[in-house]
Structure 1
Amino acid sequence: MKLSKTIAQRIVLQMMDVIPYNINVMDENGVIIGSGDIKRIGDVHEGAKKAIDNQFINEVYEEEDGGMKPGVNEPIIVDENIIGVIGITGHPDEVRRFSKLVRVTAALLIEQSKLDEEIQNKRLNRQRFYQDLAHRTTEYDEDFHARAKSYGLDLTKKSQAILVYINSNLSEYRILCNKHPHYYDIDDNKTVFFSTINYKNNTILMDMQESLDINKICLGGEEDIAAVSLKNAELAMEFGIKIKPSSLIYNYDDLKFFIHLSYDNKESLIYMFSNLDKSGNKLELVKTIQAYVEHNGDINKVSSSLNIHRNTLNYRLERIKQLTGKNPKNLLDLFELLCGIIWR
């Protein structure tokens, strides 16, 4: 460990509030890096150099050549290494009794500095990991899995990104973030939360919906790569704001069809008919969709055109919903079904 100028000056200021003598703090080379007399900062302290060379307290009783004043100079030892020296200016018989107090106080401040640095490093490493998780689009290797596991995230499972747009970055929102620690601040108004467990996704959503700081919430769907889910969440926001501008939550899985409409390749858009095509009554179900569109969803007209009872029509509509995942009675779902028929 290297003794910083900031810590050295903090030691000086705190101790000089307690004892009526000047304090100097020197680095491992004997150079003054903290002092009650700021003009001396940067000077070489000969008493400190002797204390370092002898690895023992150096006491000076008389002012010596070169301006070295009387005082007690005691090495600062951390992990069996001398990282600096503390000097108290004054006759040794007078200041010696303060030496232990200064040494203990310095040790506590240095230890606190080490802890603060470790905490800061852990925080930075954590932020770096989630930043990598948000941007990495390649398959995860063993090292990345190990890093994720150290933060309590199991990337052997599918990940979902929950992208949150906030109105303000208030302390209440920060408390919410700390409750769900797998997050990364993309910018001041946008945070992504990662999860591999469904019930945690629901918990995050419930908490977010209750917060007045939240503007929009976008779900990216479950993916093997978290960054892909994040990209999908961003697409959900881009398209959702156009289709349902007043909604709080946009789900990529719900908007996937409309997002894919912008792609040249329409193969992914006809996936919904795979189960329908496997059913034994696919032709009558396709005709039911066509009639439902043609007669604008009027149950009586649709039933009459198909020459079936209303109950039979409702059964078919429910069957279509079961096989395709799309409800013909929902306007947007019906549009997807119509486009599926066109491109099928």
Structure 2
Amino acid sequence: MKLSKSIAQKIVLEMMNVIPYNINVMDENGVIIGSGDIKRIGNIHEGAKKAIDKQHVNEVYEEKGRMKPGVNEPIIIDNNIIGVIGITGNPDEVMRFSKLVRVTAVLLIEQEKINEETQNKRLNRQRFYHELVHRKTEYDNEFYVRAKNYGIDLTKKYQVILVDCNIDSQGFRTICNRHFHYFELDNNKTVFFIRTNQEANTLIKDLEECEDINKIGIGGEEDIVAVSLENAGLAIEFGIKIKPSSKIYIYDDLKLFIHLSYDDKSNLISLLSNLDKVGNKLELIQTLEAYIEENGDINNVANRLNIHRNTLNYRLDRIKQLTGKNPKVLLELFELLCGLIWR
């Protein structure tokens, strides 16, 4: 461990508030790196050099050249001398303060070391999160291990919740403190990494209740986290155009409209595949076609198909069960229409 100039000067200022003597802090070579007398910083301290050579307290009773009377005591961390504390004054007077100054210096140095380690851990975690949200290639063993060190099991699928908000607001910071795995992107956007439905539901509830949240995009569960993040971003981008007043946009709900912008329509074509697999498939297809042609008028559709209203409603419910899309909901009916177009 190396004694920094900043911590050296901090030791000086802390101790000179307590004792009425000048304090000098020297590095492992005896160079003054902190002092109550700023002009002495950068000079060699002969008394400190002797303390380092002897690995013991060095007392100076008489002024010799630039060496003034005082006590110089080595700072020992992990059995290594990393510097020297010097108290200027008659050794018989200042010796009683020497141990106090040394112990305080060691405590401040060890606290600085802990703070530095904590900061390094935080920075390493942020580097990992940064790679996690940008990496779209298959994960290797080294990445799996790194993720596990941060409590993320990438052998399981993860879901991303993307939040656009005032990231400095107290309400949002409180939410972040409750949900450990998150990463701040640019432009007031934050990514939360979610493993279970319970986590997702809890977070979404917290976000809905926070007034500082603008928009929320929810990606699907994916093997590659960056893919879920991309989908969450697309959910917000397309969702704002379709439902501008909404706060939450779910990728799975908007998938069709997003895919409309793609040249590949294979995902849309498969929407009605379940209708093609059931018995008397044309019955449901024809019902859907008639429902669209008659603009959803139940009486006209029933008359056209020569069936009872209850039978029609049963067929519409069956379509909903098999496709996951409700013909009675405008946007979902549009998805079914697109499915018919590309079927």
Question: Aligned partners of 2:269, 2:321: CA distance in 1, in Å?
Answer: 16
Residue 172 (structure 1) aligned with residue 167 (structure 2): no
Shift of 1:144: 1.7
CA contact (8 A) 2:166 2:172 kept: no
Q: Which residue of 2 aligns with 1:43?
A: 43
Question: Which 4+ stretches in 1 moved above 4 angstroms?
Answer: none
Q: Which residue of 2 aligns with 1:277?
A: 276
Shift of 1:140: 1.6
Question: Aligned partners of 1:264, 1:188: CA distance in 2, in Å?
Answer: 30
Q: Which residue of 2 aligns with 1:244?
A: 243
Q: Which residue of 2 aligns with 1:225?
A: 224
Q: Which residue of 1 aligns with 2:117?
A: 118
**Stretch moving more, 265-274 or 287-296:** 265-274
Question: Aligned partners of 2:61, 2:269: CA distance in 1, in Å?
Answer: 93
CA contact (8 A) 1:155 1:196 kept: no
- The one-letter amino acid paired with 1:249 is I
Q: TM-score, normalised by structure 1?
A: 0.98
Which residues of 2 match residues 298-313 of structure 1 at below 5 A? 298-313=297-312
Shift of 1:327: 0.6
Question: Aligned partners of 1:205, 1:153: CA distance in 2, in Å?
Answer: 20
Shift of 1:288: 0.7
SS of residue in 1 equivalent to 2:185: strand
CA contact (8 A) 2:5 2:33 kept: yes
Residue 343 (structure 1) aligned with residue 335 (structure 2): no
Shift of 1:168: 5.3
Identity of aligned residues (%): 73
SS of residue in 1 equivalent to 2:161: strand
Q: Which residue of 1 aligns with 2:320?
A: 321
Shift of 1:151: 2.1
Segments of 5+ residues of structure 1 without an aligned counterpart are: none
SS of residue in 2 equivalent to 1:209: helix
- The one-letter amino acid paired with 1:14 is E
Q: Which residue of 1 aligns with 2:3?
A: 3
State the number of aligned residues.
Answer: 343
Q: Deviations over 1:51-91 (max 9, x none)?
A: 112211111111113x1111111111111111110000111
- The one-letter amino acid paired with 1:34 is G
Q: Which residue of 2 aligns with 1:33?
A: 33
SS of residue in 2 equivalent to 1:88: strand
SS of residue in 2 equivalent to 1:223: coil
SS of residue in 1 equivalent to 2:127: helix
Shift of 1:234: 0.5
SS of residue in 2 equivalent to 1:56: coil
Shift of 1:187: 2.2
CA contact (8 A) 2:9 2:35 kept: yes
- The one-letter amino acid paired with 1:37 is D
Q: Which residue of 2 aligns with 1:96?
A: 95
Shift of 1:145: 1.7
Q: TM-score, normalised by structure 2?
A: 0.98
Which residues of 2 match residues 56-67 of structure 1 at below 5 A? 56-65=56-65, 67=66
CA contact (8 A) 1:46 1:68 kept: yes
